[in-house]
């Protein structure tokens, strides 16, 4: 017997016999008729049962959210408002659901986010929640396609590491046999070593861990980092790759899911490239022009970034950040070493990506370690790769959940994370 999905039904002729597999979302029992609201991963259908001719199981005993297999005839002229209609012949409960449900899948009442995350598997059965992760998958697929088309090789680097990349304070410590090690904050050091290894252009999609104590709607303690590194390139080359990746990712979402997203209230706009660029110094002037005071080397607050972001339609770059605000591996601006060949990609006040041209001269790198109070012996495995003809290179790291949050206008990064890890949550 051929299985169908709800979305395939509309292409069938009336009276075709079909078998669908999914969940019973609701049951409405009338005097002569019973309606079952059936849901699979593609949509909702109505299973109609005429009581006097029904010879199957006791339908009133089927609990909501039980997994079922339903066979019946498709009624092309069905009048159901919820979706295509099937005259049910056989219903088999493949696995019953317990009741009551800890979280209602179909009720219009929205539970609070903690309850939803505690029972995430049920929360994800809701279409409007599920659709976020389908969009995230397409977003990443579009980015991967763009990078692969531009000669990038996908790599996988260790997540248990011996050295910090983004500053020593925000590290999770891991006991690794006799040694104390860390969960990686970023694949930074490894992607750079791979440039010395002659892979030319690499990208990685993987987890990054930050032991940041703040609990905000933009921060996770484990997030998905999309990283690139490219040889014989500078920050301008890296920015062009970033614009292309973001646009390709969003185009993929729009072309494959635009209609479905519109139905769930998301309007996807493909951004125009190139994105506008503004330097750190110009940003300071602009924000100060709106009555704020910024000392040289201060990072911008979310409120200040809101002021700055208001002048741009969507994405924009802040470039040439002061060296004091950037990690040791960032290339100083040759024209003024107080600044760097670096950039952040912003969407209003939200930072989505950091990137830069990197230091490739080992002598300069050692000086940069010292200026940041780091011990070069902790980085010897990394430094060695700079001693044997390391090419000039550049790259960036993009937070996938942040981009997804922006794309779908979600109020909290946890909405774009299947199983968030934050200050209070490590389960499920
Ligand atoms: P950075 O530390 O700025 O740079 O991180 C890059 C991007 O990762 C995302 N991100 C986060 N997302 C959610 N929760 C967090 N706690 C969090 N921290 C960072 C953001 C951010 O823009 N090695 C460099 C990148 C590079 O230069 O290649 C780095 O990790 O979207």
CB atoms within 10 A of CB 132: 22
Candidates 257, 342, 266; CA nearest to 299 is 342
pLDDT at 2: 79
The answer to whether the beta carbons of residues 253 and 138 sit under 8 Å apart is yes
Q: Is the CB of 399 under 6 A from ligand 1?
A: yes
Q: What is the arithmetic mean of pLDDT over 63-84?
A: 94
- 219 catalytic? Reply is yes
Q: Which candidate in 17, 166, 212, 376 is catalytic? A: 212
DSSP class of 66: -
Q: Which candidate in 186, 342, 354, 385 is catalytic? A: 354
pLDDT at 79: 83
| Tens-digit pLDDT profile for residues 337-379 | 999 999 999 999 999 999 999 999 999 999 999 999 999 998 9
Q: Whose CA is nearest to atom 3 of ligand 1?
A: 354
Q: What is the pTM of this model?
A: 0.96
The SS3 call for residue 85 is strand
Residue 35 confidence (pLDDT) above 80: yes
DSSP class of 60: G
pLDDT at 393: 98
CA distance 172 to 59: 52
Q: Whose CA is nearest to atom 9 of ligand 1?
A: 399
CATH hierarchy code of domain 122-416:
3.30.930.10
More confident of the two residues 107 and 18: 18
Q: Is the CB of 378 under 6 A from ligand 1?
A: no
Q: Where in the chain is the domain with CATH 3.30.930.10?
A: 122-416
CA distance 28 to 36: 6
| Tens-digit pLDDT profile for residues 380-406 | 999 999 999 999 999 999 999 999 999
More confident of the two residues 106 and 274: 274
Instruction: Tell how far CA 326 is from the center of its chain.
Output: 24
DSSP class of 252: H
β-bridge pairing 173-176 and 179-183 = antiparallel
- 425 catalytic? Reply is no
pLDDT band at 420 (very low <50, low <70, confident <90, very high): very high
| Tens-digit pLDDT profile for residues 227-256 | 999 999 999 999 999 999 999 999 999 999
Q: Judge residue 100's burial from the number of C-beta atoms within 10 Å of its C-beta, 0-12 exposed, 13-18 middle, 19 or more buried.
A: exposed
Q: Is the CB of 188 under 6 A from ligand 1?
A: yes
pLDDT at 167: 66
CA distance 246 to 271: 8
- 218 catalytic? Reply is yes
Q: Where in the chain is the domain with CATH 2.40.50.140?
A: 3-95
The SS3 call for residue 81 is coil
Q: Please give the number of the atom of ligand 1 that sits closest to the Cα of 355.
A: 27
Candidates 283, 259, 378, 382; CA nearest to 329 is 382
pLDDT at 165: 72
CA distance 423 to 428: 14
Candidates 411, 428, 422, 423; CA nearest to 116 is 428
Q: How many angstroms separate the first and last alpha carbons of the chain?
A: 37
- 7 catalytic? Reply is no
Q: Which of 168, 225, 233 to mutate to test the pocket of ligand 1 (most atoms within 8 A of CB)?
A: 225
Question: Residue 396 pairs with which residues in a beta bridge?
Answer: 228, 355
3-95 is classed CATH 3.20.20.150: no
Residue 109 confidence (pLDDT) above 80: no
Residue 85 confidence (pLDDT) above 90: yes
Q: Judge residue 186's burial from the number of C-beta atoms within 10 Å of its C-beta, 0-12 exposed, 13-18 middle, 19 or more buried.
A: buried
What sign results for the dihedral spanned by CA atoms 99, 105, 110, 114?
positive
Candidates 165, 239, 166, 231; CA nearest to 201 is 231
Tokens 């949550």, residue?
A: 425
pLDDT band at 108 (very low <50, low <70, confident <90, very high): low
CA distance 139 to 403: 9
CA distance 160 to 172: 10
The answer to whether the beta carbons of residues 197 and 189 sit under 8 Å apart is no
């Amino acid at each position: 017997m051929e299985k169908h999905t709800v979305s395939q039904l509309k292409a069938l002729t009336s009276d075709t016999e079909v078998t669908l597999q999914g969940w019973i979302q609701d049951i409405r029992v009338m005097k002569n008729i019973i309606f079952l609201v059936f849901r699979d991963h593609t949509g909702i259908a109505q299973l109609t049962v005429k009581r006097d001719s029904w010879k199957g199981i006791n339908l009133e005993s089927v609990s909501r959210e039980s997994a079922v297999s339903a066979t019946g005839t498709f009624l092309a002229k069905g009048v159901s408002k919820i979706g295509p209609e099937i005259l049910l012949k056989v219903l088999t409960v493949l696995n019953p659901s317990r009741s009551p449900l800890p979280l209602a899948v179909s009720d219009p009442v929205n539970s609070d986010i903690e309850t939803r995350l505690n029972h995430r598997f049920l929360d994800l059965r809701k279409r409007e929640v599920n659709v976020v992760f389908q969009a995230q998958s397409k977003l990443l697929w579009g980015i991967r396609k763009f990078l692969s088309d531009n000669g990038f090789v996908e790599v996988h680097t260790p997540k248990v590491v011996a050295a910090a990349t983004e500053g020593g304070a925000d590290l999770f410590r891991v006991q690794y046999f006799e040694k104390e090690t860390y969960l990686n904050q970023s694949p930074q050091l490894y992607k750079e070593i791979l440039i010395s290894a002659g892979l030319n252009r690499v990208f990685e999609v993987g987890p990054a861990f930050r032991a940041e104590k703040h609990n905000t709607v933009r921060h996770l303690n484990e997030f998905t980092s999309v990283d690139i590194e490219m040889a014989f390139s500078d920050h301008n080359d890296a920015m062009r790759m970033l614009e292309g990746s973001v646009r390709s990712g969003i185009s993929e979402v729009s072309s494959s899911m635009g209609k479905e997203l519109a139905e769930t209230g998301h309007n996807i706009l493909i951004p125009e490239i190139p994105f506008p660029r503004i330097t750190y110094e110009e940003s300071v002037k602009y924000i100060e022009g709106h009555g704020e005071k910024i000392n040289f080397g201060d990072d911008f607050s979310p409120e200040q970034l809101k002021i700055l972001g208001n002048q741009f339609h969507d994405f924009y770059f802040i470039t040439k950040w002061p060296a004091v605000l950037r990690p040791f591996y960032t290339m100083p601006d040759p024209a003024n070493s107080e600044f760097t060949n670096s950039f952040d990609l912003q969407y209003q006040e939200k930072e989505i990506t950091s990137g830069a041209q990197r230091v490739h001269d080992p002598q300069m790198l050692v000086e940069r370690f010292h200026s940041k109070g780091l011990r070069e012996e902790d980085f010897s495995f990394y430094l060695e790769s700079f001693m044997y003809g390391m090419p000039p290179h550049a790259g960036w790291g993009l937070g996938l959940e942040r981009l997804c949050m922006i794309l779908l206008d979600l109020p909290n990064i946890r909405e774009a994370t299947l199983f968030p890890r934050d200050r209070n949550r490590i389960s499920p």
